[in-house]
Structure 1
């Protein structure tokens, strides 16, 4: 039954995709992020749904009227250079066959990312993209959260097998990325959307905790602190964290706390030492080979040459050292620059949205994407998820939102913008005076 359901949904979407390529992007996200076919039992598990959707989307893009241009923003340009560099490093890969297989997978993601950059143009498009990401990951958040509540957190939560998020640690990080997006939908949605997000957010957080991922705990902490610092209501936010965090943690069993306590004792943890050994290998390899080793370098022969402990063969378990080992220092520089540009773009959106009437949604979305980026930057330091597609779709949302605000600014009269800025400054000054008067009254 599940096989038939997934097949019907995919093939019924093809007329919509051919009518407008944005539907192809949305269906691609559903298939590649949620991987619904992995929840089936029969032929759907092996059927090439992603290939069918990709072909239909490319055909729709070619047939669509109007200009189809890639927005040449700093993010887009750096992403293009990053993809070019990955192609160059693959051409001189240490293991050509394994690298070619991974290259094929990564380039499909990059191709659909560029298509999304072309077709995601309106606020409605951005909203639908965020909804698709949230629903695709939220499915596993709700499922894992209910599983955790029913079992008392004794058993680990895992993602769909043979996918980016199949590993318990990877699923936890994906859910952490999605929680700020859920909060954005809570802020901007209607009654039923808000209720759905109120249920989905805590269940996803419980699911992430029940993954027993130490990196996920650090990512949640970093994201919570960042959200608190950026909040306009720090006292209220601090009280909510103080009230909600202890019950969630106390619900977890003793073995969960034993696992988390090992963070501070990494020297005695064989898993942690294996990761550090892999990081040394990646650094030494990048020093020796300008373009890195290409995709898929976690092999005994490479560790025998570059690792301090040749016997401890591990994957990089870090987005940074994964890129460093596979694509060298230039590749890592481009990857980090991509993150910096995304962060700055989000900050610009937040600032500009304040001065444009009716664009508060853009500032809220950019702030939540920054929170997701913070979680990914911290949690990704301990996972090999450099090519996980969700962060790239967040880049698409930022580029589209920045372009929408730029167009709106051009159409908004200058005197209106100045009036909005003046009103905001007056409101801030009034708040400062009231705060100062309140402080004087308490002092007296």
Structure 2
């Protein structure tokens, strides 16, 4: 029996990485694999899913790991004993493939883990969801335009950003520790999977640049994210006769473009309204009269109906890898206007939307007006066809299974990617 073991701090499907991990495991099982998922018990408690679960650590260990992070900037360097316990499970399972999603999350010690993996002979696949694995501290750096990670970090401008340190700045040493741990992997035993071409390009300047790479974009459920009738949604919120500019985020911040939306609202006509999903009650209070804030939708189908109801999806993000919201909007027949930021542009073609430069509010508005002029009907079919050709989660997860089989069959180091 072929065995797959995936690692991520959370397993719950309400998180993107937890959902991806579970769904890859489900597809693997349908194709003859035995699937295991390891996650932080302190973060997620005891969870059940189709794959065998391996809860790592406990709440006390997670709390202590968080304390070391906050006081000493030692994220990923605590949890020594629970990591050794986890390695015992690894040895018992003897997986054919170890697939890492995230190991930052207050639950594993990465030097201990990679000391074992580097000597085990097990092929490791590492999906790069953010930038933490090759920086000395942060998980994104685009917004502040920091490039210290290219040669070694230090004097970190984002020390108080996740994973926040309140006191020490250990970013230079963290950079060295990560470089030593991660590059201990033999060349032919670590395959890095960026989820965007952008982060692949960034990593070509990192200390991991010499390892094999294969870009696999994330996928979505194109059955749920589909084109829906929108009359009921518009009637529910009183948006009849309005052009709807939609924005969606799990957390709205400056980096996600909240202030850019507020600036954009000042330039809208009376028949245009901005709708933001994911705002807090405090944020709702600062929104102007032509911005409608929704804290969260009741279920994923309600979100899909909002995507379908929008005339255009606006994503003025200042740092992003490969935003799922762009894919979801396009799958619902709604074109995207986004800043030229990271991987946010990679789902946007002439059939699916327009791209403007960062901070160009006038450009956002002009692009929105172009799409309004062409009309929703012009883009809907084009967007849907593009989504089915490129975003189906079944296709993207199958890319992983193909990679697993290549590695199991002993593809030599330096194979073509």
TM score, norm. by length of structure 1: 0.24
User: Which structure has the greater CA radius of gyration?
Assistant: 1
Higher relative contact order structure (alpha carbons within 8 Å, sequence separation ≥ 6): 1
TM score, norm. by length of structure 2: 0.25
More helix by share: 1
More strand by share: 2
